Amino acid sequence: MRVLADRDGVGRRVEEMAAWVDGLRRETPGRAFALVGVRSRGDVIARRVAERLGIPDVGVLDITLYRDDLSEATTQPVVRTTEIDFDLDGRSVVLIDDVLMTGRSVRAALASLMDLGRPRRVWLAVMVDRGLGVRELPIAADFAAMTEDGPGRVKVELTPTDDADRVVLVEDGDR
CB within 8 Å of 50: residues ≥ 6 apart: 35, 56, 58
Predicted model pTM: 0.91
| Mean pLDDT value across the chain | 91
pLDDT at 140 over 80: yes
Model pLDDT, residue 71:
46
Percent of the chain surpassing pLDDT 70: 90
Asked whether the CA dihedral 110, 166, 152, 130 is positive or negative, the reply is positive
The residue with greater pLDDT, 172 or 28, is 28
CB within 8 Å of 71: residues ≥ 6 apart: none
Query: Secondary structure of the chain in the HEC alphabet?
Result: CEEEECHHHHHHHHHHHHHHHHHHHHHCCCCCEEEEEECCCHHHHHHHHHHHHCCCCEEEECCHHHCCCHHHHCCCCCCCCCECCCCCCCCEEEEEEEEECCCHHHHHHHHHHHHHCCCCEEEEEEEEECCHHHCCCCCCCCEEEEECCCCCEEEEECCCCCCCCEEEEECCCCC
Percent of the chain surpassing pLDDT 90: 77
Note whether 168 and 99 are within 8 A (CB): no
